[in-house]
Structure 1
Amino acid sequence: MDCVFCAIAAGRVPAHVLYEDDRFIVLLDIYPLRPAHLLVVAREHAPFLHQLSEDAQAGLMPLAERMQRVLRRAGYGRVGINLLVNDGPAANQHVPHFHLHLIPRELSDLPALLVRVLTRFLPLGRRRMQDRLSRELHQLREALMEEN
């Protein structure tokens, strides 16, 4: 069986997909550190950034910049967005498939972020989280339509 991101890219596993093209899928993280935490996932299976094709590497930052505009248009991360790559298991990469995190930030959100880092994988409030992700996806899709 292939990895979860390969399965999402193939349509075998459901996800909160915001955008997709021939190189990437952009989706909401199901264990978000902050509201509207996005993942830019490469369609090609490459565990590390340096293993991505040149074409994918060339398209990564322009897509990340576009998704930052979408996040801000939807009201997320207006004062800051972390772009984070956990490149390998020693760097806390949980899924060995390249993905870039876009984590919208707000001033003074560090305490809530730290609590979420410690509790994000606990199965508490999963239904409430799914409802929140659905609402965020709706907001982001509207902002993406305005971006076009």
Structure 2
Amino acid sequence: MDCVFCAIAAGRLPTHLLYEDEHFLVLLDIYPLRPAHVLIVAREHAPRLSDLSVDTRERLLACADKIGKALQWAGYGRHGINLLINDGPAANQHVPHLHLHLIPRERGDLVGLLWRAFTRFLPFGRDRLQARLEREAEQLKNALKLES
């Protein structure tokens, strides 16, 4: 089987898709560190940033800016958003397909963020999390429509 992001892009795996264009898919992280933790996934399979085509690489930050504004409009990350690329296995990249994390932050959330980083792949609370992701997906899709 190909990588999980290629399977999502091909419509073979479900996701909370928020936005798409010719270069990127934007979806909610299924193991979020914070509410409305979003991934910008390149449509082209490129394990590392340096493997991404120049055209797509040049468009990545413009897409992040658009998504970041929608997150803030929807009430997430008003005090800041972490933009994170884990570029390679030693950098904690779990899926070898280029993706940019947008992690909305709030003042004083560091302890909760660290706890979630430690426990994010554990199976407890998945039903509650799934319901939250569905609510966030609708909220962010609406924000992106208004932002366009």
TM-score band (shorter)? over 0.9
1:55 CA displacement: 1.1
State how far apart, in whole Å, the 2-side matches of 1:22 and 1:11 are.
Answer: 15
State how far apart, in whole Å, the 1-side matches of 2:145 and 2:7 are.
Answer: 26
1:64 CA displacement: 0.2
Q: What is the aligned-residue identity percentage?
A: 67
Q: Which runs of 4+ in 1 moved over 6 A?
A: none
Post-superposition Cα deviations, 1:43-71, rounded to whole Å, max 9, x if no partner, equal: 11010000000111011000000000000
What SS does the aligned partner of 1:83 have?
strand
Alignment of 1:1-148 (within 5 A): 1-148=1-148
Post-superposition Cα deviations, 1:87-134, rounded to whole Å, max 9, x if no partner, equal: 000000000000000000000000000000000000011111110000
Q: CA RMSD in A?
A: 0.4
State how far apart, in whole Å, the 2-side matches of 1:57 and 1:96 are.
Answer: 16
- Which segments of 5 or more consecutive residues in structure 2 lack a partner in the other structure? none
State how far apart, in whole Å, the 1-side matches of 2:142 and 2:5 are.
Answer: 24
- Which segments of 5 or more consecutive residues in structure 1 lack a partner in the other structure? none
State how far apart, in whole Å, the 1-side matches of 2:113 and 2:9 are.
Answer: 28
Instruction: Read off the aligned partner of 1:103 and give its amino acid letter.
Output: I
Instruction: Read off the aligned partner of 2:17 and give its amino acid letter.
Output: V
The normalised TM-score by structure 2 is: 0.99
The normalised TM-score by structure 1 is: 0.99
